[in-house]
Structure formats: C-alpha cells, structure tokens
A = this chain, B = another copy of it.
Amino acid sequence: MINAEIITIGDELLIGQVVDTNSAWMAEKLNEYGIGLYQITSVHDDRAHIIAALDEAFGRADIVLTTGGLGPTKDDITKNVLCEYFGTHLIEDARVRAHIAELYKDRPDILNKLTSTQWMVPECAKILENRVGSAPLMVFHKGKQMLASMPGVPYEMKIAMEEQILPYLESQIKDNKSKIIHKTLQVTGIAESTLAILLEDYERSMPQGLHLAYLPKDGIIRLRLSSYGELSETEIQHWFDELKRITVEYMIADTDEPLEVLIGHILTERGKTIATAESCTGGKLAALLNKHSGSSVFYKGSVVAYSNEVKENVLKVHRESLERYGAVSEQVVTQMACGAKKILNTDYAIATSGVAGPTGGTLEKPVGTVWIAWATPDNVYSECFHLGKLREQITDRACTKALVQILRILRNEK
C-alpha cells in the first residue's frame, strides 16, 4: 500500500488557537484514492523543526503532504524552507502572476509588494493552480517519493486537494492497486464493553487483515471494519453482514452517515417535512438538520425558544403549564413540539427543553435533565433523559437522543 504522511505547519496549532480540521478530511480523501495515512505531525513555523519533520516523514512514507505557512507575511516560511530542503531557488512564474492579477482585479489594494512574493515559486517544483487563492500549490519529486504543499485555510486546501493534488498524485502512482475499505455501522443502547463481549467470538474468528474498531460518542458506538488491501470486497461484505446480524437489536445505521442525513433521506423520499423547537439545544439541532445541501426540501425551520415568553408567544405553550410544571417538563416540551409542527406547518417536529448548566439545576431537576418530545402526523411522544454534567456534553447528547428517536419513529412508520 502507498503510504502518506501529513505535516501541518503553524504555531497557531501548537498554542491551541486553531483546531486542525484539515487532517481528518484529507485522511478520508487519501483512503478513497487507495492511499494510507501513516502519521500526522504538527510543527511550528520554524526552519529546523520543519526540516526535521520532513526528514522523518520521508523516512517512512511515499508521499508527504504539508499544509500551512504559505501566506505572504513574515511568519510564513514554508516555501523558503522547502526551497532549502530540495536545494532549489525561487523564480518568477508568469502563469501564477497572471492568475493572481485576475483573482484580485477588483481589489488593487491586494496587488501589493507582499502579494507579489506569491508568484515566486521553487524552480524544481511542479506548480498546480490554486483556483481560489494566491499561494501556488507545489509538488516536489524526490526519487520515487513526492511532497505536495498547500495552504492551511480549509476551503483552499479542500479545493486544492480535490481538483489538483489528488488527481496529480494518482497520475504519478499508476501501479497502486490496493483498495482501502472501511465499513461502519452505528449502534446505540448498549455499553461498549457489553458490545465487545457480544462480539468476542466474532472477533476471535476474524481473518488476518481485517480490523474492528469501537468509536463511542454521545451515546452512539460506531463499529468500523477496516481492510488495507488484504481482503476482497466480497469477503469484507460477508464479515460486515455478520456484524450486522449480531448487533441488529442495537443497530441504527449500517453506514457512517450522520443521523441527520439518514433522517433527511427518509423525509425527502416520502415528501415529508420536519421542524424543531429548541430550548436547551439552542440551535444545535437546527444547525445539524440544515448542515447538508438539499436540507431545505425537508427541513422547514426552527424556533429557538430560550425564554418562556417565546415559548408562550411563538410556540403557544400555555402559561399555566409553564408556571405549574416549569419549562423543563413533559407538558411544556410536548406543547413546544406540537406548536412548532403547527406554526411551521410540518409533518413532524422535535422539541427539547432541559437544564444544560452549569447553573439552573435543582434537586428535582439537576443539571443534565432534558425532556424531548417528538410530534408526528398523528401522535406526540416524549421522554426524559439524564445526560451528564457538562454543558456541551448534555446538548450534544440531547441532539443525538432527539435524532435517534425520530429516525426510529420514521422507520416504524414505513
């Protein structure tokens, strides 16, 4: 199998100012191209540190990908360090120059002396076009090994990888026949250790080259089977089917697709719509449900109702219920769901109301108490959960609970 490594370059990653979301995205894409990712290394904007990381990565991998350090400002040194590393120097590239002139034709302020350093490129590098930015994409060959350098800004990196770097790498590694396959199913309602005991015989009989991983998060465990070229697709499918058979009682999905996508598929297919009314999750459910393109077909909107006033005036929750049972109660959350369904005129609605903390907990309703209601065309269901102690954990888990249940309801209705 062809192996790659990623080196992410930037002080901001090592002082905690920026989360590296790039590497996970790049890893997935590399796997799709049959390229394994062996290691990710984050280093400072520092000459010696970058060179040491390059040496180590080239000692292990066929392909090295670097992100970051390509801006026009002084703190960005990647291009010069790569020149030194590959024993080359900078020359002007007329194509890059023309591209930058075109890119900023309405922004003369940007066409300054610093931006002009961007069309200076290493003489020995293959230059690929960065359609959306000024930093040129660079590929260096080192014997049979390659290095591709791209910007760290996620939008630019993604376009660079998809349109330029991955196709170029593929064209250079023609004999790569290994196929990396991951198959994931999602289960809920079972502890990780209990699940592992259930799968003991299965794991014992698994063939060489097949790997099983457990990924618990927010009440869902993703079970992933991976093969790095050793097994055929038929064999992997056989083992995956067996895994599904054993876990069927707990399984909510036999793909790695997010719950909101699975829900979206069903609703779209049936021409049905959904709305949300959120108190403690405060927009998180809405942001999930409309995250993916095409969501406007099934997702009509949300009322984020933090205050009782909004619950009453917009969602038409009875004042009496609020006063008598409190906002975090079966009565209120049920009315919120029905109110959202009605005013947003949808077939389904989900409502959440809970104590996300850190303040606001009582003896009777401690932090972590969350009521969720699901309104369907003919019915309304509700349930109370205790979802932990930390604000973020509670709201994340509440979203998962809300989505798991509506997915079950939709499936039962088919």
Residue ranges of A at the interface with B (Cβ–Cβ < 8 Å): 11-21, 23-31, 37-45, 49, 53, 56, 71-76, 107, 109-110, 112-115, 132, 153, 155, 158, 180, 182, 184, 191-194, 196-197, 203, 211-217, 222, 224, 226, 256, 276, 278, 282-291, 293, 295-296, 299-307, 309-310, 313-314, 343-345, 357-359, 388-393
Contact = CB atoms under 8 A, between A and B. Distances in A.
Contacts of A71: 192, 214, 216
- The oligomer's copy count stands at 2
11 contacts: A12-B213, A17-B215, A39-B41, A71-B216, A76-B214, A153-B217, A283-B287, A283-B290, A301-B303, A310-B343, A313-B344
Contacts of A194: 109-110, 112
A193 B107 CA distance: 12
Nearest to A114: B193
Contact of A74 (B43, B49, B212): B212
A216 B302 CA distance: 31
Task: Specify the main secondary structure of chain A where it touches its partner.
Answer: mixed
4 closest cross-chain pairs (CB), A and B: A283-B286, A16-B28, A16-B27, A282-B290
Nearest to A307: B300
Contacts of A40: 13-14, 20, 40-42
Contacts of A112: 193-194, 197
Contacts of A282: 286-287, 290-291, 295, 299
Nearest to A76: B214
A27 B15 contact: yes
A302 B283 contact: yes
A357 to B, nearest CB: 7
A315 to B, nearest CB: 10
A214 to B, nearest CB: 5
Contacts of A39: 14, 41-43, 49, 53
B313 A345 contact: yes
Contacts of A43: 39
A301 B310 contact: yes
Contact of A197 (B114, B256, B302): B114
Contacts of A299: 282, 306
B41 A41 contact: yes
Contact of A357 (B16, B293, B304, B391): B293
Contact of A73 (B26, B193, B359): B193
A300 B391 CA distance: 18
Contacts of A73: 192-193, 196, 214
A352 to B, nearest CB: 12
Nearest to A284: B287
Contact of A283 (B114, B212, B304): B304
Contacts of A389: 132
Contact of A301 (B13, B38, B110, B305): B305
A15 B182 contact: yes
A153 to B, nearest CB: 7
A387 to B, nearest CB: 11
A52 to B, nearest CB: 9
Nearest to A313: B343
A205 to B, nearest CB: 13
Nearest to A196: B73
Contacts of A13: 23-24, 27, 40
B314 A203 contact: no
